[in-house]
Amino acid sequence: MLRLINVHGFFWLLLAIPAIGMTIGFVRDPVTAFDLIHPSGEFSVRFMIIAMMLSPLRAIFGRQRWLDWLLARRRALGVAACGYGLLHLAFYLYDMGDWGMIAEEALIFSIWTGYAALLIFVAMGVTSNNASQRAMRANWKRLQRLVYPAAVLIALHWFYVDGEYMGMLVHFVPLLVLETARVILMFKRRSARRDTGIATG
Amino acid sequence: MKFGQAMLAVAAATAMQFSASPAAFATGKMKCDAGPQSSWKSRTDLEAKLKKDGWTIKKSKVDGGCYEVYGVTPEGQNVEAYFHPVTMEKLLVSQRGKVIFKK
């Protein structure tokens, strides 16, 4: 029974539970679309951040069973981030209800940063499969690295749309700390290799 | 391993420090010194007045001692607006974080 936890499909299902809950809530009462905009966005960014934390955690802790477990499921996390981003957009569009207003708002900084980030997410999401990896080769990794500018856009989007920074900071500061640690470690290791005369690379 | 543990501790501490988890909505933009709630006009009256002026109201609540309204202005903007609970005066209007009116 515990083996079930390791099945990938089960993990996908876990990630989908909030979305299922939100969709049921919306279907029961469409007026709640307004209240669902924020939580759907938060889940999107949360899964993105967890996925982004894995590489720096690996650099810091080395091989660990729990890290390997999560790394094997990183694709699911990324696709979930994309999915919740689309759900976030869907609730937003439904709540706005008017294409004129939607187009008008799209020019506001706090809103177009969201669209830009989602565009990156969708590009990453649709290529999150083995066939795309084979077809794109080196470009596949390059595309996945767009998660970094996407993260910046999301931080800006969240900060400016809410008009306050707490929620955004709570989510982004731990990631920033880990990425900083990873960069520091990278430089330390490189200079250590240089000192001992081992070829870097 | 020691370095790793230290970094994780820093990350956890940082996360916990910011754990004064804010409400799901952008809030806390305004404070009103409006006195006891017994002297406040009713929130439904404010909503009715706004609707008459051409607003569409999605949601309203008390925030910082003011009334906070989420809705659409007569000009068609999706906003978050703060009103004084006694004078019903418009204090602040912001559209997706952009302040479009401030008293």
pLDDT for residue A201 is more than 70: no
**Tens-place pLDDT, residues A77-127:** 999 999 999 999 999 999 999 999 999 999 999 999 999 999 999 999 999
Facing residues of B63 across strands?
B66
**If you count residue pairs, one on A and one on B, with CB atoms under 8 Å apart, how many are there?**
85
Q: Which residue has the higher pLDDT, A26 or B98?
A: A26
CB-based contact A91:A85 (threshold 8 Å): no
Phi, psi of B73 (to 5 degrees): -70, 165
* Residue boundaries of the structural domains of chain A: 2-191
pLDDT for residue B22 is more than 50: no
Q: Which of A29, A61, A88, A93 to mutate to test the interface with B (most CBs of B within 10 A)?
A: A61
Among all residues of chain B, which has the CA nearest to that of A106? B96
Nearest by CB to residue B25, choosing from A38, A61, A62, is A38
**Tens-place pLDDT, residues A123-142:** 999 999 999 999 999 999 99
CB-based contact A166 B18, cutoff 8 Å? yes
Average pLDDT of the segment spanning A7-26: 94
pTM beyond 0.80: the answer is: yes
Nearest by CB to residue A110, choosing from B25, B29, B96, is B96
Nearest partner of A148 among A115, A172, A112, A184, judged by Cα: A172
ipTM surpasses cut 0.95 = no
pLDDT band at A25; cut points 50, 70, 90: very high
Q: Residue B20: what pLDDT?
A: 43
What DSSP character marks residue A48? H
Chain B partners within 8 Å of A31 (Cβ): 58
Give the Cα separation of A111 and A167 in Å (integer): 17
Q: Residue B14: what pLDDT?
A: 60
- Closest-CA distance, A96 to chain B, in angstroms, reads 8
CB-based contact A68:A3 (threshold 8 Å): no
Q: Residue A193: what pLDDT?
A: 83
Cβ-based neighbours of A66, under 8 Å, separated by 6 or more: none
Q: Which of B29, B68, B98 to mutate to test the interface with A (most CBs of A within 10 A)?
A: B98
